[in-house]
Amino acid sequence: MADVIFTNNASALLAASINNSELVIQVAGGFGVNFPSPTGAQYFMLTLEDDSGNVEICKCTSRTTDLLTVVRGQDGTVGQAFTLTVTRVEIRLTAAVLEEFVQVTGDSMSGNLNMATNEIQNAELTGTTVITGGQSVGMSIRGTLGQTNNELVVPAASGVRATAGGADIVVDTDDIIALLDTAGVIDLVSATVGVQIGKGAGGYLRIYDATDADYMQFVHDGDDVKVTFVGTAVLSFDGVDIDIANGDLKMNDNTVDRPLLNDFAVTRQAVTATTTTALDYEAGQYVELALAVDISAFSIINPPADTLYGAMRLKITQGAGGQLITWPASVKWANTGTAPVLSTGAGEVDFIDLWTDDAGTTWYGAFATDWA
């Protein structure tokens, strides 16, 4: 609500004539005390009326003894000239004053309710209560670390507790906790509950343990939702199946301990040979290599780390026939160490297996050629 001053009616005669634009009004000596003295953004509404019935409404923003500083032509009226002794200066009820009250239609409320440092005690909201506007309220359960009483705390922008009338804004949650301890479930029926977090490091959702020391954190980096842990760092699933219907599970060379694989397949990739051919290990370990030209420079990039074992199978299909591969010195062959002689007929197939245990510094090879 605006800073309008409400006061009882007051009346005085104009002590000096004014034109239609003067901003200081003088009332009869000694009568100024009947009018309020606004400070800061405060004001009150004045009505000027002469003996001919001419009326103008003004906004008074300050008073010094019998001198009133005003804003002319308010509430649908225009500035006019008024003559002393036949013009009354009065505080009356005006539309502008009434409009400062909350507007009520039926059982609803519109407009702004600004409580400042005041408070509503023992209020009960029934039915559907909707709070709209651009304000947000943050709440932390059980207050700050080390706090023993049970409450929802509304923090101020600085992170400390907000207050109203000098008292903390809190909501006792003992009854809520008791209900959860008894029932063990929040039944939302068909309701939808969403938690929205901002993008980047500044927005996150954390789930703390009982000591407030360890937590699981969800962060949206603008593209993905990332889950990190502080403390125990174990996300445990017991007695449930996890079905990834669409998408990939990426471990980035980390360990999956003791998995039982019911069914699995190796990613295949198709590569058309060029004179310089680099096979990407991460793109798939079964490579269908179409040999349309001789390969004079062959390599495998992105092999697994030297603490891991990696293997790749090549299915080499001749194009017109007679194409060759010049193998690098890093590839070691069994027995005599001689590289295989590839099939020479058009469309003929050879298989070569390569494996490494030193991050691709050395690849060991075996082969089977002349497949029909």
Band of pLDDT at residue 183, cut at 50, 70 and 90? low
Residue 187, CB half-sphere, CA atoms under 13 Å: how many? Answer: 3
For 335-344, the pLDDT digits (tens) are 888 899 999 9
Return d(Cα 303, Cα 363) in angstroms, integer.
Answer: 10
Look up residue 92 and give its two tokens. 């009356």
Residue 108's pLDDT is 57
pLDDT of 363 higher than 90 = yes
Tell me the mean pLDDT in the region 111-121: 59
pLDDT of 203 higher than 50 = yes
Residues 6+ apart with CB under 8 A from 43: 3, 4, 5, 59, 60, 61, 71
Tell me the mean pLDDT in the region 189-194: 64
Return d(Cα 89, Cα 60) in angstroms, integer.
Answer: 11
pLDDT of 174 higher than 90 = no
The distance of Cα 225 from the centroid of its chain, to the nearest Å, equals 12
Average pLDDT taken over every residue of the chain: 80
pLDDT-above-90 percentage for the chain = 45
pLDDT of 281 higher than 80 = yes
**Residue 165 to residues 115, 125, 150, Cα–Cα distance (Å):** 10, 22, 22
Tell me the mean pLDDT in the region 344-360: 94
Stronger pLDDT, 249 or 5, i.e. the higher one: 5
Count H helices and E strands in the chain, helices first. Answer: 2, 24
Among the ranges given (152-166, 284-298, 357-371), the one the predictor scored with the smallest mean pLDDT: 152-166
C-alpha dihedral (285, 288, 291, 295), degrees to nearest 10: -10
Stronger pLDDT, 77 or 102, i.e. the higher one: 77
Residue 218's pLDDT is 85
pLDDT-above-70 percentage for the chain = 73
pLDDT of 269 higher than 90 = yes
Residue type (1 letter), 292? A
